[in-house]
Amino acid sequence: MCLGKRVVLHFVVVLLVIQFGRSSGQDITDQTSSLDMGSMRSMFHALRQWTFDFVGKTGLRTRGFFLQEKIPNELPFPCDVTLGRSERVPKSVHKLRPGDINVIAAMGDSLTAATGAAATSVRDLYMENRGLSWSIGGQWNWRNVTTLPNILKEFNPKLVGYSLGDSYPFHKESQFNMAEIGAVSYDMPFMAQSLVKRIRADPRVDFKRDWKLVTIAVGGNDICSFVCTMENPEDLPAKHRLRMTRALRYLRDNMPRTFVNLVSVPSVETVVSMKSKPSICNTLHHGECSCWVGKLYNQTDESRLRWHRIQDGMVQAEREVAQLDEFRRLDEFAVMYQPWSTEISLKMNGREVDHTLLAYDCFHMSQKGNAYAGTALWNNMLEPPGRKSTNWKPLFENFKCPTAKVPYIFTYDNS
């Protein structure tokens, strides 16, 4: 099937969603609809499998603009890994060292799915290179895929849960990466339930005893594609706050020994308002970020400013949710807001945009971007609140390590 037809199909699906969404007077992203019925689901599943086979795997490519710089074998891993793991399994989340984590998981959208990270064409953008994902990809190793799991593996080679390679969420290779492309904030409480189910059922996991790390990153689709269809767009931060709180409560109450990274809504403006975009990117951005790009919703600088303010509200909500009293001073659960992307820049040398950080659509992250993001998240975990980096850096320019004096992952209560 040619791309045109697929786009039409996609469009029909979107129309259906809008149709069903409108009928009950709620916002599109506020509800389930008849599209969520079992029969629709199996049809959707089959369609997705067909797409997967049609596009084919791309994540094992060893050449391309999208790849990060490799760390030569002569260079040792930058941290003393013996400091990174406790002698005995800690009882408190506030005494958790990186190597104490046995299970890693993630929730979110296409950014967490690593959509198009190894893409070199529009067709490839339909592949999810989950093995390369910044927060949950564990393909190869830290030398050429510098992701959070590949870093953690150096401290604990027995880590499980990271995605093994290209896959959709219903494939085994995705492991505990629950991300769904197009997911919105509303989906997080449900995703938390599916996540717990998946981890609990895995024979490799000692559910009560193993420490688990979950990274949540969502909101890009809300602010890019749905905010402009809401009845009251200014309600989005409050809704986001409620949904995040619910998802976190579920994790707190249903999964012992869990540390959560709550990562900011991505700075969509940085990518969509980029000057001198290749024309293919401009076209794709109409679809990927239709509230900001194009004319369909009468977009103006003024409306973009409005979305920007709403996005700031969402970030503020995340900051506050992570510090809610109900998530503080617990032994087996902690949430930390991680702001590494809030002031993100694509100008690594301070002057020109480094296009190789972005995927073929200039919207998602390339493999290299995923490596920068993975390192940034790792650094955030070892930086105390109030002194966390808010921008990514070239690899290993500022790589943090646990030290004898400060060996623990920071929580609000051990800093």
Could you list the beta-strand ranges (E) of 249-400: 258-263, 333-338
Q: Which two tokens stand for residue 262?
A: 């709550």
CB 140 → ligand NAG: shortest distance, Å?
A: 4
Q: Which is nearer to ligand NAG, 132 or 214 (CB)?
A: 132
CB 296 → ligand NAG: shortest distance, Å?
A: 7
CB 60 → ligand NAG: shortest distance, Å?
A: 8
CB 367 → ligand NAG: shortest distance, Å?
A: 8
Q: Which is nearer to ligand NAG, 207 or 297 (CB)?
A: 297
Angle at 97 between CA 95 and CA 213, to 5 degrees: 100
Number of Cβ within a 10 Å radius of residue 253: 10
Sign of CA dihedral 55, 57, 59, 64: negative
CA–CA separation, 27 vs 299, rounded Å?
A: 19
Q: Which is nearer to ligand NAG, 190 or 226 (CB)?
A: 226
List the beta bridge partners of residue 281. Answer: none
**What are the phi and psi torsion angles at 189 (to 5°)?**
-60, -40
Q: Which is nearer to ligand NAG, 70 or 209 (CB)?
A: 70
CA–CA separation, 128 vs 125, rounded Å?
A: 8
Q: Which is nearer to ligand NAG, 67 or 271 (CB)?
A: 67
Sites of contact with ligand NAG (CB under 6 A): 62, 67, 70, 140, 144, 297-298
CA–CA separation, 174 vs 162, rounded Å?
A: 7
CA–CA separation, 245 vs 242, rounded Å?
A: 5
Q: Which is nearer to ligand NAG, 62 or 279 (CB)?
A: 62
Asked whether the beta carbons of 78 and 399 are under 8 A apart, the reply is yes
